[in-house]
A and B are shown apart, each in its own frame.
Chain A
Amino acid sequence: MVPSESTKPRQNWVSTANPCHQCRPLGAMVAFQGIEGCVPFLHGSQGCATYMRRYLISHFREPVDIASSSVSEKEAVWGGGPALRTGLRNVSEKYGATLVGVATTCLTETTGEDLGMLLHEWRKEIAENPLTVREPKIVTTPCPSYDGTHMDGFHAAVRSLTEQCAQTTAPHGKVAVFPGFVSPADLRHLREIFAAFELNPTLVPDYADRLDGPALAEAGSITEGGTTAEELASLPGSTAAIQMGKTLTDSLSGAAYLESQWQVPRRILGLPIGLRETDALFALLEELSGRETPRAWQAERGRLIDGFVDAHKYLSGRTAVVFGDEDLAIGLVAFLTEIGLKTTLVVSGGKSGKLAQGVERVTQSFLENPPRILSDADFRDMEDCLESQTADLFIGHSKGYKLTRRRDVPLVRVGFPLHDRFGGQRILHLGWRGALSLLDTIVNAVLEKRQDDSPVGYSYL
């Protein structure tokens, strides 16, 4: 039975209260951070860029530069072309950007700015008045936030990067990987997994270094790291394109583009969270590389199952609420289902329409009653839906803290944004290793709660 997907469960609210997602350009700004030499650029008013920087900085604890065309009232009326051109010149000449990722915002979408035409004017201008530096590549992505969430913006930017950079390339044996909006630690782990099969992945994007970098002696204008321009250009020569995440539509998928335009075989996986989704990734890598999973990695899988067994009684019969981005939520539900934590409710601000189906896929034959699903929902919808009913554990990002605090239920923090904990950028969600560390965190959250609530205060549990 496919669980029923309801958007507004109880009350028919017109307004939104305490949103569970962010706006579309934010996702695009994150994706652009994952390209070497790229300055993310918002074509719109200054405030949006500053807010997004602040939001990202609080999560990653890294400098996050987002340039803006700082469209003023006049320019909003008469056209933001001149502001965009001044902005592009500055990021080229002052920041030394080799690529500029331009996203529109609600404002410039509403005033109907045409990025194609604006770029045409930009080229004309630099033909007449050349730049003092090499002309950067410019990738554009339309981001009306009133249509879609930060996840749509993330995928749209990745798709634009792929589409606008890809060039005819001879096959080179590398694998194109589209991991979605995962943590820097996840990206590093993926590199390691692929290396174990002697596969050479091109991660699009790869912000592991730029959004979780080392201490520096001096500030360069653009931090090092990211997918290179050459890697982007040669994507069509990949042996396969792996898409992680099943809720994005083909029109927003870089892998789908490589498949339809360049005949690169596409393989679609769920986010490799938990045992079974990670097994699927390793099976695929065995197939692509023609190698068996190396012993050390098989041992890692073995330790995970050993952990499952050690943990099962602490979790058995307990319930969980999962919230956040759709693909992440599906991965988490898959994992919770494996360890015997029953998910009763899944909430997301996303609205792909594929959440229920995804949850069904990972819970079928395990759960008698499928969890309730709320998409395009906010935290007020979640409260309405929960009423007096509660769960033993909530799993999601920081914005759910208020709700769990009121209910005195532990919140296990994963994903984005994590504004009230340290090390959000280093949380590992993916792979068997990620699953084991999630397992430790979850079991310990349950134990801590039990210990705190107990009048006895056992020091053995």
Chain B
Amino acid sequence: MGTGGISVFAERKNQILVAGTAGETIQCDRPSLAGAVSQRACVFCGARVVLYPIADALHLVHGPIGCAAYTWDIRGALSSGPELHRQSFSTDMREREVIFGGEKKLEQSLLELIEKYQPKGAFVYSTCVAGVIGDDIDGICRKVEKVVGIPVIAVQSEGFKGNKRAGYSAACKALDRLVGTGDTTGISPLSINILGDFNLAGEIWLIRSYYEKMGLQVVANVTGDGRIDDIRRSHGAALNVVQCSGATMELARYMKEQHNVPFLRVSYFGIEDMAESLYSVARHFQDVDWKVMERARQIVSQELKDLVPEMKALKKRLQGKTAAVYVGGAFKAFSLIKAFRHLGMRVTLVGSQTGTEEDYREIQQVCDPGTVIVDDANPLELGAFLKDNDVDILVGGVKERPIAYKLGLGFCDHNHERKLALEGFLGMRNFAREVAATVESPVWKFVPRRIGRTTAGTALSTERKEP
């Protein structure tokens, strides 16, 4: 099969395909290939992403210092109140613990930290080393829980047990232990939980405000700007609204099985998806209160009135430009393809770190023929693709940024570390502005990719005085 001339690791052939070639499926969810510089992270990373935004919880990493050091405050998940999540706590395992076991140190650490910081709950993340030496983290957590009287929950996130998606699952299991333990009195029948939004750059505040304007009560944010006590009573909500590729899908399923809370899948990226999210939630409550839909329509039309003129203007400028998309979840890739269409731009590469087979099939359907689709790409492949296919912008995470910049391409950060709100109608505007800001910069006129290595192409004229 043709992969646009990308040199592919033989073992990875089945993790790359081209849209429009019939009958092919992509192999995903395979462990990263040894020796390839994978962009993927570990189970612990996935679990951290989901649980980290719970701001009044203690997050304790049970392992050597690095795992905690590298995750200290790296996400842009904001809190409107307590900010305990922005500190980095670790048991900082040393040789002693590796040899004799780390349970005692874990127990002491938990006790001292809970006493000092008075959290509403605690999560203890297991790492590779903790897993290998066989510490009974769950046992310690239960023991400490009895003493301190707050939920103390072990997160089974040993890094080597899979990729980020396994971490989402570990996080959902941890959350499942909280849900159903709080008092649900006073919750309105017109109520929801927001799942799968992590309040990067304040996004959940935006989304929450839309729902509240529709007359809905938001019981719990899971987990952006999240609180332990809200999550404990979240089973009292009438509906779970789950965003994106699946970080919290598992929790939604648990809650349906155990507490009979139905769920809806939505996406807040892009105009149609955002509007459709509000409509589908409104439809759910149609029989309880028909006015919810009316309010949703009002919100959408008001927002569009503000947004459309600017989008039109930007589209004129960006028409015909091309983009490569490399993001964590396939669902997000989806929305991005649509968002670029609004700007008159075409996506020629789609990659994801954690897509499922189904995700990739869907992506294949919405893509233009010839679009390359990759699972778990490495820098070599990304670099080769970007060399052969001249795109104007790469959308990715911090790790992809230098690849784009080195090659003289525009870049937009669409990952957990971004500091710009990209969800909602406002997010669409931010995104469009961001794309324009990078694509239209004059600096691309000077990069070697466009003009070669000499000064010839760029030098301003030198004046010479005629004698």
Q: Given A44-B128, A111-B132, decide whether A68 and B38 contact each other with a Cβ distance below 8 A.
A: yes
Q: Given A51-B45, A106-B128, decide whether A19 and B90 contact each other with a Cβ distance below 8 A.
A: yes
Q: State A402–B72 Cα separation when bound (angstroms).
A: 12
Contact B384 A47 (CB under 8 A): no
Contacts of A84 in B (CB 8 A): 34
Contact A54 B64 (CB under 8 A): no
A259 at the interface (CB under 8 A from B): no
Interface residues of B in 6-59 (CB under 8 A from A): 7, 9, 31-45
Nearest CB of chain A from residue B167's CB, rounded to whole Å: 9
From A47, A68, A73, B34 is in contact (CB under 8 Å) with A68
Q: State A111–B132 Cα separation when bound (angstroms).
A: 7
B105 at the interface (CB under 8 A from A): yes
Interface-located stretch among A20-28, A182-190, A337-345: A20-28
Q: State A213–B448 Cα separation when bound (angstroms).
A: 13
Q: Given A19-B88, A107-B129, A216-B448, decide whether A48 and B66 contact each other with a Cβ distance below 8 A.
A: yes
Chain A, Cβ-Cβ closest to B104: A14
Q: State A208–B384 Cα separation when bound (angstroms).
A: 25
Contacts of A75 in B (CB 8 A): 160
Interface-located stretch among A59-67, A294-302, A304-312: A59-67
Contacts of A399 in B (CB 8 A): 72
Contacts of A145 in B (CB 8 A): 64-66
A369 at the interface (CB under 8 A from B): no
Nearest CB of chain B from residue A262's CB, rounded to whole Å: 32
Residues of A within 8 A of B (CB): 13-19, 21-26, 41, 44-55, 57-58, 61-73, 75-76, 83-84, 86-91, 94-95, 106-107, 109-111, 144-147, 213, 215-219, 221, 399, 402
Contact B90 A216 (CB under 8 A): no
Interface-located stretch among B281-289, B295-303, B341-349, B399-407: B399-407
Contacts of B453 in A (CB 8 A): 217
From A15, A147, A402, B109 is in contact (CB under 8 Å) with A15
From B38, B68, B408, A70 is in contact (CB under 8 Å) with B38
Nearest CB of chain A from residue B85's CB, rounded to whole Å: 13
Q: State A63–B71 Cα separation when bound (angstroms).
A: 20
Contacts of B9 in A (CB 8 A): 90, 94
Chain A, Cβ-Cβ closest to B447: A215
Best-surrounded residue of B37, B42, B65, B113 (most CB of chain A within 10 A): B37
From A14, A86, A147, A218, B407 is in contact (CB under 8 Å) with A218
Q: Which 9 A-B pairs rank lowest in CB-CB distance, beginning with the nearest?
A: A47-B42, A23-B66, A90-B35, A87-B35, A219-B383, A87-B34, A15-B109, A16-B92, A51-B70
Q: State A21–B379 Cα separation when bound (angstroms).
A: 27
Interface residues of B in 77-114 (CB under 8 A from A): 86-95, 97-98, 105, 108-109, 112-113
- Contacts A/B (CB < 8 Å), 15 sampled: A15-B89, A25-B66, A44-B128, A46-B40, A46-B42, A46-B159, A48-B66, A51-B45, A53-B37, A70-B38, A86-B33, A107-B128, A146-B93, A216-B449, A219-B379
B69 at the interface (CB under 8 A from A): yes
Contact B407 A71 (CB under 8 A): no
Q: State A46–B35 Cα separation when bound (angstroms).
A: 10
Contact B94 A217 (CB under 8 A): no
Contact A146 B35 (CB under 8 A): no
Chain B, Cβ-Cβ closest to A75: B160
Best-surrounded residue of A22, A47, A146 (most CB of chain B within 10 A): A47
Contacts of A23 in B (CB 8 A): 64-66, 69
Contact B33 A52 (CB under 8 A): no
Contacts of A147 in B (CB 8 A): 94-95
B304 at the interface (CB under 8 A from A): no
Q: State A299–B74 Cα separation when bound (angstroms).
A: 44
Q: Given A15-B89, A54-B70, decide whether A67 and B36 contact each other with a Cβ distance below 8 A.
A: yes
From A49, A55, A89, A219, B403 is in contact (CB under 8 Å) with A219
Chain A, Cβ-Cβ closest to B128: A107
Contact A15 B387 (CB under 8 A): no
Q: Given A14-B109, A14-B112, A51-B45, decide whether A22 and B399 contact each other with a Cβ distance below 8 A.
A: no
Contact B40 A16 (CB under 8 A): no
From A17, A47, A64, B159 is in contact (CB under 8 Å) with A47
Contact A57 B399 (CB under 8 A): yes
Contact A63 B69 (CB under 8 A): no
From B44, B60, B72, B405, A47 is in contact (CB under 8 Å) with B44
Q: State A437–B71 Cα separation when bound (angstroms).
A: 32
Contact B40 A50 (CB under 8 A): yes
Contact with A along B438-463 (1 / 0, CB 8 A): 00000000011100110000000000
Contact B406 A215 (CB under 8 A): yes
Q: State A44–B63 Cα separation when bound (angstroms).
A: 14
Interface residues of B in 190-210 (CB under 8 A from A): none
Contacts of B60 in A (CB 8 A): 15
11 extra interface residue pairs, beta carbon distance < 8 Å, beyond A18-B72, A84-B34, A106-B63: A46-B42, A65-B379, A69-B35, A106-B64, A106-B129, A145-B64, A215-B447, A215-B449, A217-B453, A219-B379, A402-B73
Chain A, Cβ-Cβ closest to B34: A87
B420 at the interface (CB under 8 A from A): no
Best-surrounded residue of B32, B129, B384, B386 (most CB of chain A within 10 A): B129
Contact B112 A13 (CB under 8 A): yes
Q: Given A46-B32, A46-B38, decide whether A51 and B66 contact each other with a Cβ distance below 8 A.
A: yes
Contact A94 B406 (CB under 8 A): no
Best-surrounded residue of B63, B87, B162, B380 (most CB of chain A within 10 A): B380
Chain A, Cβ-Cβ closest to B353: A50
Contacts of A95 in B (CB 8 A): 380
Contact A15 B70 (CB under 8 A): no
Nearest CB of chain A from residue B58's CB, rounded to whole Å: 10
Nearest CB of chain B from residue A104's CB, rounded to whole Å: 12
Chain A, Cβ-Cβ closest to B133: A110
Contact B402 A61 (CB under 8 A): yes
Contacts of A54 in B (CB 8 A): 70, 74, 398-399
Contact B97 A18 (CB under 8 A): no
Nearest CB of chain A from residue B169's CB, rounded to whole Å: 14
